[in-house]
Amino acid sequence: MLASMAAGESLLALRERRSRRSTFWFGAAVAASISALGLLPGAPTAEVVGLSLVWAACLLGLGALVGRGVLRLTIAGSLSSLVGLALFPLLFRLLGASSEALQPALLVMPVFIVVLSPDDGASVWITGVGALGWLAGLGLWDGAPATELAADLFVSGLAFLVALRGLTMQRRFREAQREAAREQIRTEQRLVESETRRAGSERLAVIGQLAAGVAHEINNPLAFVASNVGYLEQRAKEAGVSDRDFEEAGRDLHHGLDRIRQIVVDLSRFSRKDDASEPAVGRAREAIEEASRVAAVRTRAVATVQLSLPPAELPEIAMAERRLVQVLVNLLVNASDALEGSPPERPRTIHVALEAEGAAAQRIVVEDTGPGMSAEVKARVFDPFFTTKALGKGTGLGLALAREYLEAAGGSISVGDRPGGGARFVLHLPNAPT
């Protein structure tokens, strides 16, 4: 996510550099057009054409450096303003213009910069102050009356203040544009990530359906094996075979078959679609035991799962047992993923505890000895599509659905830190009405 945001910001910066480069090139075109005035009768053609082309070349070079990111806009703008203040009045003086005729052009310069480059405040100040200086110097050089010179400077100062006000408004407008562009980039990135995770969710759903189908197909050969084992035991008993190793092997076979049968039942129940006719009650103890069996394929290779269950049977909870199994399986798998990256010398344990919470509710605590979560992750861990796992490993929907299921049943789920390190999830479940 952070890498995507950085790429979006880089793209936005590239767009802005290109926009600034085009501004400099537009100024170069304006400067080059002044050379046409050198072709007028009586004008010093070589001087006017040469100076205007030098000015245009300077702007082209500065624009190229800004577009490549070599030169900052403030530096390039200040340099272009200084060059413009030096050459622009000089060109008009070569053409024989008086300070009075030059005044409108000098007044336009700061406003021109505000419109084309609203981020370049330094250039506005340089051109505004420079224009006042030029008008004062040329007025004194031409011997203009004091009242006329004061009026010219007042008008120029007023135009400069208008340019500064326009600079502030343009900056706010440009910042709003940038924020809108950033939000568009963020929205596009969220859409791409959401689509990727949706595809991952669909793939997981297909895998779940296939697993349920495989579990169903196992039932038939499993029945054959169990029947044949019983047949062999019966024949051995009829033949009077009494062998301790044979009897122990038979017990192991029955134990393995029972284990396979239980896994098939758990997978079939876990992958079954929601049924509106299914009772919205269940027993938390059975849900914990079933979830530990279903998740064992993941947890067994990573951690030791410890169950702390009350000796006495607790009342039923106001939540479908299968949904609670789904919530607990998600928590157990997440804990296994967290423990997988923990140091090998640290004990890898997942502890699940069930206890009564007064007379009307029960509490399930799932905690692990992993690295735990930062405050930022804990604040967003139940948000849809939020995940700290690598792309393709997690969809960011498991905990969001867990909270939805629990809240729909009148319960809640919270996350915190385990004493000694690790994550701790607490599930509050109301008892079913009697």
Give CA–CA dist 260/389, Å, rounded: 31
Mean pLDDT of all residues belonging to the chain: 77
- On whether the CB atoms of residues 100 and 152 are closer than 8 A, the answer is yes
By DSSP bridging, strand 412-417 and strand 361-368 are unpaired
pLDDT, average across residues 125-147: 77
Give CA–CA dist 49/42, Å, rounded: 14
Q: How far does Cα 18 stand from its chain's mean position?
A: 26
Structurally, at CATH architecture level, domain 284-430 sits in: 2-Layer Sandwich (3.30)
Phi then psi dihedrals of residue 75, to 5 deg: -70, -50
pLDDT in tens, 56-94: 888 888 778 877 777 777 787 778 778 777 777 777 777
pLDDT in tens, 150-177: 877 787 778 778 777 877 787 787 788 7
SS3 label, residue 306: strand
pLDDT in tens, 350-362: 999 999 988 899 9
Give CA–CA dist 92/266, Å, rounded: 91
pLDDT interval class at 209 (50, 70, 90): low
Checking if the pLDDT of 2 tops 60, the result is no
The residues with which 45 forms a beta bridge, in sequence order, are none
Give CA–CA dist 254/260, Å, rounded: 10
pLDDT in tens, 333-345: 888 888 887 777 7
CA dihedral in degrees (34, 39, 41, 44; nearest 10)?
70
pLDDT in tens, 36-58: 777 677 667 788 788 888 888 88
Give CA–CA dist 122/79, Å, rounded: 10
Residue 7, pLDDT score: 47
The residue extents of the domains of the chain are: 2-191, 201-271, 284-430
- Residue 284 carries which side chain, given as an amino acid letter? A
Burial-class residue 240 by CB neighbours within 10 Å (0-12, 13-18, 19+). exposed
Give CA–CA dist 334/371, Å, rounded: 12
By DSSP bridging, strand 304-308 and strand 412-417 are unpaired
Closest by alpha carbon to 364, among 410, 421, 310?
A: 310
Token look-up 């609670």 returns 324
